[in-house]
Amino acid sequence: MSPLPLHSARWLINPRYKPAGNSSNDDAWDEITSWPGYAATPLVALPELARDLDVGGIFYKDEGGRFGLGSFKALGGAYAVLRMLQRTITAQTGETPSATQLRAKSHPGITSSITVTTATDGNHGRSVAWGASQFGCRAVIYIPADCSPAREAALAALNAEVVRIDGGYDDAVARCAGDAAENRRTVISDTSWDGYRDIPREVTQGYRVMAEEALRQMPGGAPPPGGAPPSHIFIQGGVGALPAAICGHFSGLPAKPRVIVVEPEGAACLYASAKAGTASAAPDPVYSVMAGLNCGSASPIAWEILDRNAFAFMTIPDESAGDCMKLLADGSLGGRPIIAGESAVAGLAALISAAHGARTPLGLGPDSQILLFGTEGATDPEIYAKMVGSLPIKRE
């Protein structure tokens, strides 16, 4: 096994931690698992890493194959597009078409007149654009100045109009919202603001499908569906929608996992929120090589969940991303080689650092069962090659 990369990391135990139960998410589960091409993504055990870190087990949820879009984001944006179109058609006709009917162009006069829009570093916008192409509406996607050409091309390939703005992700969010108001477009965002909460909540509901899959795949529990819950979850931060989805899903269990939220040290809005006790922005300048986590402001509705349900917050340096991508790629952690994008490995990097420097405060021990979410594959092969040293090899 390759030597583990040890990088400095900050951690903060949440003083307001008081997890509460949360409602089920049967609607999103029933809907998304019925879509063409649906398959549960694999949960890969990493036994060599577990032995090295002296914990009971480590499991990595590999989202690289999700609906052919390369990331867990496929679950959220497309689901929210569907729900918005269904509400609109119901209001106009009294009918609520199914996803299958919308794919068959059941209401083209209505759907073709609707434009959805969002800001993205790549993956969320791809999900929204895919949902628009599936269900018959148009999509306008805003990307920050440093979004890679490959990720822009992936959006265009889904027939989305792509607008590159002069600024970062948060600037793209603001521009998208302003243009939507002027042009009567519907914003499908995973971040929230005053007066805009329902659609981000639906995006988050879609993400919970991934959490339910992982719970059913964990070993040691009741016969399927229903594995034993993990003791710890290290999960990427972003604006907070993903960790809020994970907290919301797992907090309903009698044995609640400790959820540790992980961010790049250069884009740590949730860590800043934990220190301030309210949804906050990361200090300027905001930048991380982990493009999907390069977010400067916490989502208020996500923070409402994280404020009580996240056990701790951690930040990691950018250089840890490439090191962990390489470890997964060479298969030295056990299991099999895994193709992971730069935003997929934040939880893994934080776990390695925590196991060497924060075991006691985080409650890590030889019986700990740890769940990691590998949120994307190589969504930009060129960036992957630069960070790993070789192009991703497609699995058969």
Query: What residues are labeled active site?
Result: 73, 121
Alpha-carbon span 155 to 149, nearest angstrom: 10
Put the strands of the sheet holding 138-143 in their side by side order: 161-164, 138-143, 115-119, 186-187
> Which 8-state DSSP code applies to residue 136?
T
Alpha-carbon span 350 to 353, nearest angstrom: 5
SS3 state at 236: strand
Q: Torsion over CA of 346, 235, 49 and 219, rounded to 10 degrees?
A: -150
Distances (CA, A) of 44 to 60, 328, 360, 372: 5, 11, 26, 10
- The helix or strand, by DSSP H or E, that contains position 164, with its residue range, turns out to be strand 161-164
Length of the chain counted residue by residue: 396
- Please, are residues 143 and 152 in contact by the beta-carbon 8 Å criterion? yes
- The helix or strand, by DSSP H or E, that contains position 94, with its residue range, turns out to be none
- Please, are residues 76 and 246 in contact by the beta-carbon 8 Å criterion? no
- H helices of the chain, in order, are 26-32, 47-53, 77-93, 99-103, 108-111, 123-135, 149-156, 169-183, 198-217, 241-250, 269-276, 300-309, 319-329, 346-357, 359-362, 381-388
Distances (CA, A) of 330 to 64, 129, 135, 228, 338: 16, 33, 39, 29, 8
